[in-house]
């Protein structure tokens, strides 16, 4: 696209007087080089090169950090391994902080998601729910996280969370609506409705606290969310953020 619009402009410019001699040739050469550099810059800004790994940051709480598991057993590490096994070049960084809330993650967003990040998986809300934080507070923090990442041209996958039944139907309804509402308001946002889908409340896939997944539990999470992450990577590759 840009190759057709930039280079012919130089070639079609007015002919220079013959008395300019070698200087005229140099001017045209410099113009061609400048046009080629402009094309390279524009192309580089559209999407990452196909041979460069897509840089993903997993921004979350202990479910992302991998509480009770070795570093290579945490969700980000296992997700990267699963994607690479499918021939998808990625680097997945672990920006999970145990005990973090959506508001806490917002406060550390800029240094948790460094420059050069292509995509972010936002896994937050579990601690907000367990502490009974007003869903409006959680909603506002998540909305601001999404807004700031989108403003930076970073693709976002939002992982939803469900409320514990003992918090009551009203709280559960208001809390769980946060994630679908944010996705509905932002057409560029990918949504995975429930991060612990297929794992929550299954004693075989959770540690003794009943809250944090075992190694097998993380494998189950990765297997279920993988298609959505592949879609996220595809958006990055095609510059659709």
> What is the pTM for the complete model shown?
0.80
Reduced to 3 states, what is the DSSP secondary structure of residue 188?
coil
Domain boundaries, the chain: 2-46, 54-237
- For residue 119, the SS3 value is strand
Is pLDDT at 193 greater than 90 in this prediction? yes
Distance, in Å, from the CA atom of 225 to the CA atom of 217, rounded to the nearest integer, reads 12
Catalytic machinery residues: 62, 209, 212
Count Cα neighbours of 210 within 13 Å in the Cβ-side half-sphere. 2
Under CATH, which number does the domain 54-237 receive? 3.40.50.1110
Q: What is the pLDDT of residues 101-158, one digit of tens each?
A: 999 999 999 999 999 999 999 999 999 999 999 999 999 999 999 999 999 999 999 9
């Amino acid at each position: 696209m840009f190759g057709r619009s930039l280079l012919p402009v130089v070639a079609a410019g007015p002919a220079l007087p013959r008395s300019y001699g070698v200087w005229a040739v140099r001017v045209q050469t410099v113009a061609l080089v400048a046009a080629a550099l402009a094309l390279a810059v524009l192309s580089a800004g559209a999407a990452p090169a196909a041979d460069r790994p897509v840089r993903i940051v997993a921004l979350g709480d202990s479910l992302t950090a991998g509480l009770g598991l070795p570093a290579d057993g945490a969700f980000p590490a296992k997700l990267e391994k699963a994607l690479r096994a499918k021939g998808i070049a990625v680097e997945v960084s672990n920006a999970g902080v145990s005990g973090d809330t959506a508001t806490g993650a917002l406060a550390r967003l800029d240094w948790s998601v460094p420059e050069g990040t292509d995509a972010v998986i936002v896994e937050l809300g579990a601690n907000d729910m367990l502490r009974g934080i007003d869903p409006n507070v959680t909603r506002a923090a998540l909305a601001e996280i999404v807004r700031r990442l989108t403003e930076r041209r970073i693709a976002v996958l939002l992982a939803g969370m469900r409320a514990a039944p003992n918090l009551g139907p009203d709280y559960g309804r208001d809390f769980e609506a946060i994630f679908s509402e944010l996705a509905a308001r932002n057409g560029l946002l990918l949504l995975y409705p429930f991060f612990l889908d297929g794992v929550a409340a299954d004693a075989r896939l959770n540690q003794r606290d009943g809250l944090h997944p075992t190694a097998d539990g993380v494998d189950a999470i990765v297997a279920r969310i993988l298609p959505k992450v592949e879609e996220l990577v595809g958006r990055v590759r095609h510059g659709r953020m």
